[in-house]
Structures are given as C-alpha cells and as structure tokens.
C-alpha cells in the first residue's frame, strides 16, 4: 500500500478505516502492553583499514554488497559476536571519505546497561571512531498482537513529526504466511512500522501473524548528534541522551476547530501529517503550526513513550555508575 500526501489518494484499506470513532478507551486499550526504548543500529566512521581491524577485533568474513549499500566503498566484511554483529565497509573511491564505515547491529534485545558494556568494550578496542548516525527506537508492545495493526492506523491519525516534509505509507502485500507489515515514512529520518520480536529469515518484512509491536524509529544524523555533544563513540558510552534528542520528535496532535479536519473526520491522505502538509501547501489557513493543539485524552500515551525514554537514560547511567565503583575497589 502507498499513500502520498501530494495526490491525496490512498490505496489499501477502505476510507472508513481512517475514521476516528472517538471511543478513547477502546483505542487506548491497545497499548496496555510494555513500552520500551532502545538503541538499534549505530553507524561509525573511522580511520581503520582491514588489517588493523582484524588485529583489534578478529577475522572478518567478506560478503557481497548491494548497489545501494555504500556504493563509494569497495569491500564489505562481517563479524558476528555473541550479542551483536559488525558490518565493515572499506576501500573508499573518494579521497575525502573516511577510510572505513562500521555498522553495529544488536542481535537481541539488550538491557541498556548491557548495551553500554558492549559499546564500551568496542570503544576500547576501536578508539577515535566518530558517530555517523544512531537509530533510536521506541517499541509499543501490543496484547493481543493483532492490536498492533489497530494501533498503526490509529497513530497515523494523531502522529505529527515536526519538519517532516513528506509522508509515505507502504506495505500490506500478501506473503506466503500472511499479510506484510505496514511502514510509514516521515521525511528522511523517521518511520513507524509494525514488526515482530526478531527479523524474519525470508527478508526485511514481517507477516501479520508474527507482528506483536509498533515501533517508532528516529535515525539521528551526525549533525544532530554533535549539537548534543555526541561526536565520538566514547561520548555515546558516557550518555546516549535518548530523552533529550527524542522527546520532541514524536507529537500527538489534532487540528483546532475551523477550516481543517476534526479528529472525527476522515483524512483523505490517510494520515494527520499528510493532512497538515496538504493544508500548508494549499494555504487553507495562515500559519498552519498555530492551528495544531494537543490531544488531552492522549496525554497518557505521550507519557508512556517519554517515560520509556527517560527510563533508558536512567538504566544506562546506572550501568556507568556501577562500572566506576567497580574500578575504585
């Protein structure tokens, strides 16, 4: 399925799917499960060649690269550890590029303190690595799992991402074992999607039979990270600054009464973000941001999301404090 705010057309579920029935309690019940924040893929750049990397981390295995996968780098190597996997791209074909790019993939859900230990060990082995980007994620677990789809379409009616200039909704294709998960892209760095506990072996998509959560994911680029004094891997080990970077990325909004659609109306584009961009493009009102307001009934949802971010920072800090105390003994 694809929805584009420029055309105002939606292909997929019927228009009635996007009506808000105003039964707050029914809709809020879909997030009675856990809300957990965590780091996903971390991308670094460094001055390490292949031989030096092998000396510091052990032998890597060469793997073929896709055309879109860092096309300015000649080789790709992989090494799998107990809790994470490292992809290493080397031999750039431009002089101004870093010698190497490293991507760190967690293989399972690690507690913040354990994730910190992994990165601290890596920073000790590979000092001087610059942070290129960090994927910050918030997982909203749904019980029963079928409610994840209900939550996806409901969140599209509320979700506002400041500065995102485009929204695309994709997915919904039929797979062998069910229907493909849906993904909503907001601009370049934000996306919301249904997913299961682990990545499926058959490809990047999950079937609706394995989906048990909704993920909000923001990929913070180096420019944003540097503004928050996260420049090197060692800075991340000290503090991920999850709440500070992410608390303003995901907003739940509605339009004030007037010329714009109400929360009980259908959005022709299928999303609040698309309706907002359409109103802004067509100059339906002056200063569209001033016509947005909070949804009081959904303040518990925003609280759960932001509380999970704060909890991540807290557990990360506790792990750092325990490490310092053990060194002093």
Q: Residue 177: what pLDDT?
A: 60
Could you tell me the pTM of the whole model? 0.86
- Using the predicted structure, report yes or no on whether residue 207 has a pLDDT greater than 80: no
Q: What is the pLDDT of residue 7?
A: 35
- The predicted model gives 189-213 an average pLDDT of 79
Question: Residue 251's pLDDT is what?
Answer: 92
Q: Taking a C-beta distance cutoff of 8 angstroms, is the pair 261, 267 a contact? A: yes
pLDDT in tens, 233-242: 999 999 999 9
Q: Which of 72-76, 146-150, 191-195 has the lowest mean pLDDT?
A: 146-150
Neighbouring CB atoms inside 10 A of 57's CB total 17
154 near 178, Cβ under 8 Å?
A: no
Q: Is 77 domain-assigned?
A: no
Q: Residues 51-57: what's their mean pLDDT?
A: 91
Q: How many domains does the chain have?
A: 1
Q: What's the gap between Cα 95 and its chain centre?
A: 32
DSSP strand pairing (167-171 vs 130-141): unpaired
How much is the pLDDT for 129? 95
**pLDDT average, residue stretch 32-49:** 89
CA distance 158 to 241: 25
Query: Cα(240)–Cα(228) distance, rounded to whole angstroms?
Result: 10
Q: Is the pLDDT of residue 174 over 80?
A: no
pLDDT of residue 229: 97
Judge whether 273 lies within some domain. yes
Q: What is the pLDDT of residue 212?
A: 86
Residue 40, pLDDT > 60, answer: yes
pLDDT at 24: 43
Quickly state the pLDDT bin for 148 (edges 50, 70, 90).
Answer: confident
Least confident of 29-33, 53-57, 180-184, 292-296: 29-33
DSSP labels, 143-194:
SSTTHHHHHHHHHHTTEE-TT---EEEEE--EETTEEBPEEEEETTTEEEEE
Rounded to an integer, the average pLDDT of 285-297 is: 86
Q: Report how far residue 26's alpha carbon sits from residue 7's, in angstroms, rounded to the nearest whole number.
A: 32
User: d(Cα 191, Cα 135) in Å, to the nearest integer?
Assistant: 11
Q: Could you tell me which residues come within 8 angstroms of residue 317 by beta carbon, excluding any fewer than 6 positions away?
A: 239
- The residue range of the domain holding 166 is 3-38+134-328
On whether residue 25 sits in a domain, the answer given is yes
Would you place residue 314 in the very low, low, confident or very high pLDDT band (cuts 50, 70, 90)?
Answer: very high
| pLDDT at res. 316 | 96
Of residues 219 and 24, more confidently modeled: 219
Structure tokens at 130: 């610059």
**Rounded to a whole number, what is the largest CA-CA distance in the chain?**
66
> 109 versus 223: which is more confidently predicted?
223
Residue 277 belongs to some domain of the structure: yes
Q: Give the model's pLDDT for residue 8.
A: 34
Whole-number pLDDT of residue 145: 66
């Amino acid at each position: 399925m694809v929805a584009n705010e420029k055309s105002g057309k939606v292909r997929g579920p019927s228009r009635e799917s996007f009506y808000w029935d105003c039964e707050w309690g029914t809709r809020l019940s879909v997030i009675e499960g856990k809300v957990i924040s965590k780091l996903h893929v971390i991308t670094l750049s460094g001055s390490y060649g292949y031989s030096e990397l092998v000396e510091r981390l052990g032998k890597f295995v060469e793997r073929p690269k896709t055309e879109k996968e860092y096309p300015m780098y000649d080789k790709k190597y992989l090494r799998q550890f107990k809790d994470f996997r490292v992809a290493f791209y080397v031999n750039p074909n431009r002089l101004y590029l870093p010698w190497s790019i490293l991507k760190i993939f967690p293989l399972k859900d690690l507690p913040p303190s354990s994730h910190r230990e992994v990165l601290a060990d890596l920073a000790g082995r590979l000092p001087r690595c610059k942070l290129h980007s960090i994927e910050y994620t918030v997982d909203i677990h749904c019980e029963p799992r079928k409610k994840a789809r209900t939550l996806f379409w409901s969140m599209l009616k509320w979700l506002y991402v400041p500065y995102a200039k485009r929204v695309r909704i994709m997915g919904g294709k039929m797979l062998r074992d069910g229907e493909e998960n849906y993904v909503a892209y907001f601009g370049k760095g934000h996306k919301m999607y249904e997913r299961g506990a682990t990545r499926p072996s058959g490809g990047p998509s999950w079937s609706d039979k394995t989906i048990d959560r909704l993920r909000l994911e923001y990929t913070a680029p180096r420019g944003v990270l540097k503004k928050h004094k996260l420049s090197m891997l060692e800075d991340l080990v000290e503090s991920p600054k999850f709440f500070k970077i992410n608390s303003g990325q995901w907003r739940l909004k509605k339009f004030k009464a007037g010329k714009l659609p109400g929360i009980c109306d259908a959005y022709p584009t299928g999303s609040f973000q698309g309706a907002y961009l359409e109103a802004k493009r067509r100059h339906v009102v002056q200063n569209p941001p001033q016509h947005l307001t909070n949804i009081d009934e959904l303040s518990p949802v925003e609280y759960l999301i932001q509380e999970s971010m704060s909890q991540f920072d807290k557990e990360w800090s506790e792990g750092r404090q325990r490490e310092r105390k053990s060194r002093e003994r």
